[in-house]
Amino acid sequence: MIQRKQSLYLLIIFILLSTMFFLPLAQFVVNNEIYKFIFNGIVPLNNPESSLIVSTYPVTILISFTALLSFITIFLFKNRLLQLRLCRLNILLLIGFNVLLGFYIYHFITKDNAIWQFSIASFFPLISIILYYLAYKGIKKDEDLVKSIDRIR
């Protein structure tokens, strides 16, 4: 049922979270050397094939899990109560992701006295939280409509 508003919201969330694997989340400058924060760690910009400076596999797992969960939630349109629960769970996971992202950035900045800047991909989880809230409201509205029609019978 991709024609429902909430299904479109969930699809947009999936696309946003999936593109985070291809875009850097932030950039750091330490002693005229540039590092980028990608989905699996912090690597130097001039030599991305080198080993990771900081490994951020919990971030990778969290992005993967929330993207997969949003894709699965699209196809659970017949079970609206489960959809509601998964939306709430994903909102909490994305809040946790933002906290974890902030922790890694804060840790790298304080350790190396780095100058940092966010990229557009770092705002995708915040946009996804808003879209999850809108999807939640749409699913809740559908569930309330079905309950009211059942009462009429």
Locate the domains of the chain by residue range. 5-147
What count of residues does the chain have?
Answer: 153
Three-class secondary structure of residue 75 per DSSP: coil
60 close to 40: Cβ distance less than 8 angstroms = yes
For residue range 15-69, list pLDDT tens digits in order.
999 999 999 888 888 888 888 888 888 888 776 566 767 778 888 899 999 999 9
Out of 1.10.3470, 1.20.140, 1.10.10, 1.10.8, the CATH code matching 5-147 is 1.20.140
Q: What is the pTM of this model?
A: 0.87
Report which of 59, 90, 60, 58 is spatially closest to residue 74, judged by C-alpha positions.
90
When computed from its CA atoms, the radius of gyration of the chain, rounded to whole angstroms, is 19
Beta bridge partners of 117: 27
CA distances from 90 to 9, 43, 57 (A): 13, 28, 18
Cα 147 to Cα 68: distance, rounded to the nearest angstrom? 29
Looking up tokens 């690597």 gives 43
For residue range 88-99, list pLDDT tens digits in order.
999 999 999 999
**Does residue 112 or residue 132 have the better pLDDT?**
132
Terminal Cα-to-Cα distance of the chain (whole angstroms): 25
Cα 83 to Cα 62: distance, rounded to the nearest angstrom? 19
**DSSP tag of 119:** -
